[in-house]
Amino acid sequence: MSGGLLEVEDLHVWFDLPQRRELHAVQGVSFSVDRGERLGLVGESGSGKTTTILALMGLLPPTAAVAGRVLLDGEDVLARGERTVAPHRWKDVAMVFQGAMNAFNPVRRVGEQLVEPMELHGVASGTQAMRRAGELLERVGIPAARLRSYPHEFSGGMRQRAAIAMALACRPKLLLADEPTTALDVMVQAQILQLLIALADDFGLGLVLVTHDLPVVAQTCTAAAVMYAGEIVETGPMDALYHEPRHPYTRLLFAATPDLESRDVVVSIPGNPPRLDEGISGCPFRPRCDSAVERCGLERPGLRRVGGAHEAACHVAEQVPA
């Protein structure tokens, strides 16, 4: 079933806990991303979204165990763990981290740090690499002369753009961005998001944008997957998710987000997400759901098609009002 750029099939991640317990952080996540497509991975803290994309690059600690398939252009990069995923890191799939402002070594110049992945992966070296680094900086809106600057001489927004440039150093096909704008001002956020969209379009990159900020996803991505308690509870085109949400969590999450142009009352979702170190019976969202029926406590729902490319993991998905 190889086709798109990225196909994730039934990904699971467990973390070791003291006293031989485990945290089931990602519970059977599947999604796909095509070239030029921008997918938003939305969820709150503890939903497993960051762990999911870390797993795509094999950046998990020794306390983690992974199951499932991650197909990059048809090849399963998790097949043999570190050995199969390492060659793809940065060359085929690169990541912009949360707090990328701190991803730079403070005692080395920015240019050197951009060149480093190129040389490590044999993509370019020496003056040619430095020239490419300069082009990358220009592409993200920083004058090439700044190659000689140190990270602390950049503002927060510039460092984030430089981090994006660094991620693009080896011309990856897939870019993963973990909360790239969370710590930034709204104006700088707009710049960065605009940049990411332009890069995805120009280079035909696939983009996975992980964030808790629904409006950011609404304006930046073509499609989104909403995660809750380690699994995807709804996925589909952005328009469908907002105008015809089929999972109560999606609907409630939008309702809990204040909007500049809306007079709607903003309402919290009562309760807390379930613990992931214990087994969950039935639907994980049931305790907080306003539309739960008896079946929800007994049977865990799987993702079901509810529209074009629109899927939701809910027993009452048909009845949820648009």
Partner 1 sequence: MTALEPAVGAPAAPRRPGRLRRLLESPVLTSRQSLAGLVILGIVVLAALTAPLFVHGDVQAKVGPVFAPPSHRFWLGTDGGGADMAKLLLMGARVSLLVGFASAAVSVLIGGTVGILSGFFGGKVDIVLMRITDYVLVLPDIPLMIVVAALFGRSLTNIIVIIGVIYWTSTARLLRAQVKSVRERVYVQRARALGAGNARLIFRHVLPQVTPLLVANTVLFVAYAIFAETFISFLGLGDPSIVSWGRLIQNAFTDDAILNNAWWAIVPPGVAVVVVVVACTMVGQAMEDAFNPRLRSGHLSTRRFRLRPVPAREPR
Partner 2 sequence: MSAAAADSPAPLLEVDGLVVRYPVQRGLTGALLRRPRQHVHAVSGVSFTVSRGEMVALVGESGCGKTTTAQAVLRLVRPESGDVRFDGIDVTGLGPRELRRLRRRMQIIYQDPYESLDPRFRVEQTVAEALVVHREGARESRRLRVVEALELAGLSPAELYLDRYPHELSGGQRQRVAIAASLALGPDLLVADEPVSMLDVSVRAGILTILDELRDRGLAVLMITHDLSTAARFADRICVMYLGRIVEEGPAAQVIEAPQHPYTKALLSVVPRRDPRRRVKPQILRGETPNPIAVPPGCRFHPRCPAAVEDCRTIDPELRAPAGAASAGHRAACILLGR
- Footprint on this chain of partner 2 (rule: CB under 8 A): 44-45, 155, 157-158, 185-191, 193-194, 212-216, 218-220, 238-239, 242-243, 252-254, 256-262, 266-270, 272
Type of residue found at 39: L
Q: How many CB atoms lie within 10 A of CB 183?
A: 15
CA 4 to chain centre: 17
- Which C-beta is closer to partner 2: that of 172 or that of 273? 273
Question: Is the CB of residue 277 less than 8 Å from the CB of residue 235?
Answer: no
Joined together, the tokens standing for residue 170 give 């080896």
Minimum distance of partner 2 from residue 203's CB (angstroms): 21
Positive/negative CA dihedral, 163, 164, 165, 169: positive
**Contact of residue 214 among partner 1, partner 2, none (CB under 5-8 Å per partner type):** partner 2
Q: Is residue 45 near partner 1 by the rule CB under 8 A? A: no
CA distance 298 to 215: 34
- Which DSSP helix (H) or strand (E) runs through 203? helix 186-203
- Which C-beta is closer to partner 2: that of 30 or that of 257? 257
Q: Is residue 87 near partner 1 by the rule CB under 8 A? A: no
Within 59-78, which residues bind partner 1 (CB under 8 A)? Answer: 60-62, 64-68, 78
Q: Is residue 302 near partner 1 by the rule CB under 8 A? A: yes
Q: Is residue 58 near partner 1 by the rule CB under 8 A? A: yes
CA distance 32 to 311: 13
Question: Is the CB of residue 110 less than 8 Å from the CB of residue 104?
Answer: yes
Minimum distance of partner 2 from residue 125's CB (angstroms): 33
Contact residues: partner 1, CB under 8 A: 10, 12, 14, 28, 58, 60-62, 64-68, 78, 80-82, 267-268, 270-272, 299-300, 302
